[in-house]
């Protein structure tokens, strides 16, 4: 049961990151092509938040597995 919850949360985090990535790329690329530096900074922020949230997710999963044993 824990594995299903883990994968559901992981897929949700990934989907949110991809939607924000696409929206940012489309919006800035289409409406304001001169803002490439801001776009790159936004990508770094998205990647950082994704890595942080997945790391947190992995730590919580490991903690729950240790409690079950």
Over its length of 69 residues, how does the chain's per-residue pLDDT go in tens digits? 578 888 999 999 999 999 999 998 888 877 776 777 888 899 999 999 999 999 999 998 887 777 776
CB-based contacts of 64, cutoff 8 Å, min separation 6: 2
Per-residue pLDDT, 1: 52
Per-residue pLDDT, 60: 87
Query: Which pairs with CB-CB distance under 8 Å and at least 24 residues apart come from 59-62?
Result: 61/2, 61/6
Per-residue pLDDT, 16: 96
Per-residue pLDDT, 51: 97
- Predicted TM-score of the model (pTM): 0.81
The structural domain count of the chain equals: 1
The residue range of the domain holding 55 is 2-68
């Amino acid at each position: 049961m824990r594995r299903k919850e883990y994968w559901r949360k992981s897929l949700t985090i990934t989907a949110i990151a991809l939607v924000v990535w696409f929206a940012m790329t489309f919006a800035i690329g289409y409406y304001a092509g001169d803002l490439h530096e801001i776009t790159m900074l936004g990508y770094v922020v998205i990647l950082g938040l994704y890595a942080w949230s997945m790391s947190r997710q992995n730590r919580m999963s490991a903690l729950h597995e240790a409690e079950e044993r």
